[in-house]
Structure 1
Amino acid sequence: MKLRPSLALLLALAVTGAGVHAQSAADLAGDNAPRKYSTLPLTPTTTQAQAAQLSARFLTRFHYDAQPLDDAMSRKIYKAYLESLDGEKVFFTQADLAKFEPLRTQMDDAIWNQDLTGPFSMFNFYVQRAIERMTFARGLLAKGFDFTGNETYNYDRKNAAWPKDQAELDTLWRERTMNDWLRLKLAGKPDDEIRKTLDKRYAGYIDRVKQLDGEDAFQSFMNAYAESTDPHTDYLGPRAAENFDISMKLSLEGIGAVLQARDEYTAIREVVPAGPAAKSGKVHVGDRIVAIGEGETGPMVDVIGWRLDDVVKHIRGKKNTTVRLEILPADAGVDGKHEMISLVRQKVSIEEQAAKKKVIEVKDAGVTRKIGVIDLPSFYSDFGARREGDKDFKSATRDVAKLLTELKAEGVEAIVVDLRNNGGGSLAEANELTGLFIDQGPVVQVRDARGEVQVQGDDDPGMTWSGPLAVLVNRGSASASEIFAAAIQDYGRGLIIGQPTFGKGTVQNLVDLDRFTRNNSEKPQFGELKMTIQEFFRITGGSTQLRGVTPDIQFPKNGDEKDFGESTYDNALPWTQIQSADYKPVANLKAYLAPLQAKHDARTATAPGWKLMLDELAQYKKMRDNTTISLNFAQRQTERKEQDAIQADFRARHKAIDGDVDGQDDVASDDGLNANERSLKAELKQEKDAKKAADPQLEETAHILSDAVGLIKGDGKLAAEVLPYGGRYSSTSTAAAAAADKPQQAPAAH
């Protein structure tokens, strides 16, 4: 699953990029001058022109739905590129678009002729316009604004028209700037402070726009082409390709610190446990990196004002090499004493994105049952380490198998696999993970561009967990998550609970473009294509494309399905069906689905936490659907008081249900600030408190499973119908499970 990119994402990278770990390793030797960003206008390189043409050769020949790169495709690329540059329609005017019009049918020629002048001219014009608009906004701050009129501001401009001319554009930006000022005024900030905050904000935006480089321009244009073929094909430049690789293997070679841009500094947002930074005891959250030196004696390079990804690529490097950091401690002022820290880079695991477990104790009618929960953020796999024979290679399936064994030892009676907002990952991992919960058989069918269908499945006998199972999903569960959930549902192996899933039914493969060039450098230059090459189907024959997986027990939708999901893409592939695979369901969950639904309905009808969730959801939908706001201070103040009262009521109800939770009373109204303008300490505390908040959907899923266990234990005939192996399973220990179940698979088998 992925969302369409925009230049806002590129800018966000420089503002809040919380990446431990963004961008390629680089050597600072010889780079002893301050970083100089590209001089405008940006110009394409020969390598980029070659990469564009090479990408086109792959996309027009080997894509699952290969389409010619002609004038028709050029129009699609133009539209997608324009939306990526100015999706909110706040930079270009209709007069500007008239100047771009000849390019509408020339994008194909630009790629085939290796002449990217046209696409780059559009990007350069965007940069120029962005700087002009922010400069205009800064100029409005001196006089301030009159908030006694009846003006309104429509902040949702996805479906708006581009402004007709400069005058209409100026009006739009005056309203935007007024709203920024009004938000701070409503938060109680005096005019002088508001003026200073906004001037700094807009100046910072200008600086970040000026830091956009040729790789940003090329990445944006090539993604417009890639995504015009289908929503899930991407071009990954060298920087983006390395980030994708890290997200799959959950490891990198560096110092083990999450970095974030704060003002002109790069700050330490998180210190990764067991990493070099943590072991040194000298790196702390909030510390600011002032300069970086490569090796024991390399020159120190000042990095104040740098883009986040440029800072990170210099910190990252090969294992067992040294990097020196000049640090301004978190508790020191800007004139505080700097500290020098020398760290040896090592392989760092990103455990935050790995599978985790916990146990929920459900108490009902005097009975307490332990329900195990496995939270899986993605289907990750370190393909390189696996190929090289590393016995400790990172794998979602291996991690989950280990957690299942631990949960069984803790005596859980049922398992929830939480796949909410799991956007997918490795197809092989989805297949192998399913094998932990079924004996043997097909898991997914895959059809290629030639129409040939391959059945993939689990060939290893035995299950790691054969007891009651639920898979919790939502609209953010996509791709590999849908393969797993669909197979569990089709086998009757477990309950699917939650909201209908995303609906992504296609398979992508990475094409390393450097392998098909004469690039003799060790440094990647041409990037990668993440290209759709196949479509997957359930073992029943139906596709998850567009339709996703429909839960057996559905939770309330949040309304985002209108804007989020495969069905929202104009060029999504249609739903299709093929022949069913040869498989046999292992159980019939319909035998107890009706009583479980009835118990769920009865419980949630009176549960205070569930009612609170529904009320908060209704309020969210109401606020989201209201896209026009008043610029009158008195009216906004009245509306704010109403919202504050609603939120205060929600907080009081949370407190009554959950008890005293840290930060529960600290949740404030809109403070008018952007994320990077707040205190890092306060921001981290808020995130920590949010993780402690009650999760009514997960709690209710645990209750449903507890109901299932109760029904199974009370009716042997029912147990034989809804569980594999005639209902024989154990939850007390690994040894007991081995006696009751078929032989378990070793984690290494997955």
Structure 2
Amino acid sequence: MKLKTFWMVLALATSAQAATTATMAPPLRPVEAHALAAQASAELLSRFHYQNVPLDDAMSIRIFDRYLKTLDPERIYFLQSDIDTFGAVRTLLDDAILQQKLDAPFAIFTRYTQRVRERLAGARDLLATGFDFDKPDRYRYVRTDAPWAASQAELNDIWRKRVKNDWLRLKLAGKDDAAIRDTLTKRYDQALAHSARSKSDDVFQLFMNAYAESIEPHTSYLGPRASADFAITMKLSLVGIGAVLQERDEYVTIRELVPGGPAARSEQLAIGDRIAGVARDENAAMADVLGWRVDDVVQLIRGAKDTKVILDVLPADAGPDGKHKRITLVRDTIRLEKQAAARSVIEVGGDAKQKVGVITLPTFYQDVDARHKNDENYRSASRDVERLLAELKAEKVGAVLIDLRNNGGGSLDEAVRLTGLFIDRGPVVQQRNPKGQIRIEQDRDPGVAWDGPVGVLINRASASASEIFASAIQDYGRGIVIGEQSFGKGTVQTLLDMDEMAKSEKPTYGELKLTIAQFFRVSGGTTQLRGVTPDIPLASFADRERFGESSYDNALPWTQIEPADFTPVGSPRELLPALTTRHSARVANDAGYRELLEDIAEVEAIRKRTEISLNEKERR
């Protein structure tokens, strides 16, 4: 079936069905700028992306599947008959992009909005009837791999259980029937209004990201509005709570806490926490944001500096019926000084106490403007750490621990310079470009700032530049890495401004973020996918299946190249058997650590569940 024929057939079918339901707004259509941006993106991706992935029928299938997954990840809106109809263009989306004919993805979106309206209208009707919570019903709430509903009757039953579960969760939280009915009515009405607010630019961005992310997870398309938001973030002039958010199932969840931001400083939020509601200020009603898109939640959270925003949060380690937390944060700008390295001194050991200096580094920062102006006092992570090391030396600490937990990266130059504080010249990291050419980043400064014992503390949120530093310390035998397996992001991205390329005077075509290189350790293996494996592992609540590079279904694989020419300066791994034995004995005798392991096991069991009882007695 040709693209134009598919569009006409689907449009007529959708219009006919829509006539029997609520009144719908006119279908959204692509504009000329979308067609031009799509074609330009395809050309740029084929020329400059690290992976040479052609835009062909095979890629069209990947785009098609990811687009449907983006629209309906839990398979609760589309019917199998819809998917069968859409299948006519499953291998034609490459042609749609190259021929500047984007009607097909817009037609699919029109059918999606129709199904959303039908389902939410049906959900509101169910609220009037109430539910029997004594029946042995079960609800499959994880449906990412479930088959599409074969009929309206089957989908009706899925939604009956879905609404029943929504009701029961509120009932278990202590709300009465009237309050529950009011809360859910508002939730479904908000979701309906949210769907109606979609614009053609939104549809185009969803489709283009289905294309970009089909190549690999760190490639993306940013439309004009998203591009402006990204620019604000990069300038660190954003007034908000300092959290990077993402969509997971029906929740918007916390993917990263920005160092120095209100969320990180509050110590009340954690990676993986789920945002269920947002109140713009102390006097505003709490908006139920389940099912919202992440950019709409971000817009609600942002506000004027020094104003309050209240979040209703379901913690990452809580089950579906877990206790929510209400957290009040004061919006603020995120400044460099709030992200700076800091030090402390702790005493360890038994009778013979030893002092250990701990340097916490939230991000690999550098005041680029000041450096380019030849300001001798410009701030940077490596400069600040060098100063702190001198202070710790003066306090006669016996060892230093560099804490990189939750450090998502930053300046590559700073990762190299920081490594240079602990090694006396040599390669730090290797980069490979799309042509296979290898570039080696070197520490060229003689001498070290610290020649004593070193430990590096990492967790699942330690990524990119953090992994470069930790792996170099490990490969050189300069110290011991402690904690969790790190994130596993071993790729380099750049941003291409298509408005600038087209010499457009106003934001029209957006930007393309694409992967252009890959990092490799000096020992030859990449940090991609596997990250850095600690020498001494520590238990954690982190969910590896949902957070980290390995959680992406199309992440670039682990690989290796030839090692760089480097000379290890130590061999602390010879001490690992003894250290591991002592560590195991210590945690075995630590009641608090044993309780932590029990809690982790319980949380992991909850995470593996895909169904839940709808019987009130079983849920209590």
Could you say which TM-score interval applies, normalised by the shorter chain? 0.7 to 0.9
Contact 2:78 2:115 in 1 (8 A): yes
- Identify the residue that residue 552 of structure 1 maps to in structure 2: 535
State the one-letter code of the partner of 2:537.
Q
| Pair 1:438-2:423 in alignment | yes
Tell me the residue number matched to 1:44: 30
- Aligned equivalent of 1:561: 544
Unaligned 5+ residue runs, structure 1?
Answer: 1-37, 262-269, 274-283, 291-305, 317-324, 331-346, 638-750
- Corresponding residue to 2:589 among 584, 588, 606: 606
- Letter of the structure 2 residue corresponding to residue 239 of structure 1: R
Distance (whole Å) between structure 2 residues aligned to residue 354 and residue 102 of structure 1:
52
Cα contact 1:40–1:124 (8 A) shared by 2 = no
Runs of 4+ in 1 over 6 A off after TM superposition: 256-261, 270-273, 311-316, 327-330, 390-394
**What is the aligned counterpart of 2:71 among 85, 89, 94?**
85
Contact 2:423–2:447 (Cα < 8 Å) also in 1: yes
User: 1:507 is paired with a residue of what secondary structure?
Assistant: strand
Tell me what 1:252 maps to: 237
2:516 match:
533
* Residue 464 of structure 1 pairs with residue 449 of structure 2: yes
2:614 is aligned with 1:628: no
2:46 is equivalent to residue 60 of structure 1: yes
* Distance in 1 (alpha carbons) for counterparts of 2:500 and 2:89: 31
Worse-superposed segment, 348-357 or 571-580: 348-357
Identify the residue that residue 576 of structure 1 maps to in structure 2. Answer: 559
CA contact (8 A) 2:280 2:309 kept: no
The one-character-per-residue Cα deviations of 1:554-586 (angstroms, maximum 9, x if unpaired) are: 223658334444344443333332221111111
Secondary structure of 2:544's counterpart equals helix
Distance 1:453 1:62, change over 3 A: same
TM-score by length of 2: 0.78
Name the aligned partner's letter for residue 131 of structure 1.
R
Q: What is residue 139 of structure 2 aligned with on the other side?
A: 153
Instruction: Specify the SS of the correspondent of 1:438.
Output: coil
1:222 counterpart SS class? helix
Deviation string 1:532-572 (CA, Å, 9 cap, x unpaired) is: 11122111112223332221112236583344443444433
- Measured in 2, the distance between the counterparts of 1:68 and 1:512 equals 22
CA contact 1:353–1:377 (8 Å) conserved in 2: no
- What is the match of residue 489 of structure 2? 504
Amino acid at match of 2:73: G
Q: Does 1:455 align with 2:440?
A: yes
| Contact 2:346-2:358 at 8 Å conserved across structures | no
Q: For residues 121 and 490 of structure 1, what CA distance do their matches in structure 2 show?
A: 53
> In the aligned structure 1, how far is the partner of 2:88 from the partner of 2:48?
29
Quote the offset at 1:351 in angstroms.
5.6
SS in 2 for 1:105: coil
Residue matched to 1:173 = 159
Q: Which amino acid aligns with 2:416?
A: N
Residues 550/185 of structure 1: CA separation in 2 closer, same or farther (3 Å cut) = same
Q: Distance in 2 between matches of 1:392 and 1:134?
A: 59
Query: One-letter code of the match for 1:366?
Result: D
* Inter-partner Cα distance in structure 1 for 2:309 and 2:51: 54
Q: Does 1:214 align with 2:200?
A: yes
Shift in alpha-carbon separation, 1:558–1:496, aligned structure 2, 3 A = same
Question: Could you say what secondary structure the match of 2:129 adopts?
Answer: coil
Distance between the aligned counterparts of 1:260 and 1:598, measured in 2? 39
Q: For residue 206 of structure 1, report the CA deviation from its aligned partner.
A: 2.0
Stretch of structure 1 that moved more, 425-434 or 189-198: 425-434
1:133 aligned partner: 119
Is 1:475 the equivalent of 2:460? yes
Give the Cα separation in 2 of the matches to 1:464 and 1:244: 36
State the aligned residue count: 538
Look up the equivalent residue of 1:138 and give its one-letter code: R
Instruction: Out of 350-359 and 448-457, give the one that drifted further.
Output: 350-359
- 1:127–1:362: structure 2 CA closer, same or farther, 3 Å change rule? farther
2:30 partner letter: P
Greater RCO, CA 8 A, separation 6+ = 1
Question: Aligned partners of 1:214, 1:401: CA distance in 2, in Å?
Answer: 51
8 Å Cα contact 1:248-1:425 kept in structure 2: no
Indicate conservation of the 8 Å contact 2:526/2:558, yes or no. Answer: yes
1:674 match: none
Q: How much is the aligned-residue C-alpha RMSD, in angstroms? A: 3.5
The answer to which of 377-386 and 363-372 deviates more is 377-386
Shift of 1:609: 1.7
1:80 & 1:403 partners in 2: Cα distance?
A: 48
Match of 1:615 in 2: 598
Identity within the alignment, %: 49
Would the aligned equivalents of 2:241 and 2:301 in 1 still touch at CA under 8 Å?
A: no
Greater displacement, 416-425 / 388-397: 388-397
The alignment partner of 2:88 has SS state of helix
Residue 554 of structure 1 aligns to which amino acid in structure 2? P
Q: Deviations over 1:368-416 (max 9, x none)?
A: 4443334444445565665566777664444544554555566544332
Q: 1:187 to 1:538 in 2, by over 3 A?
A: same
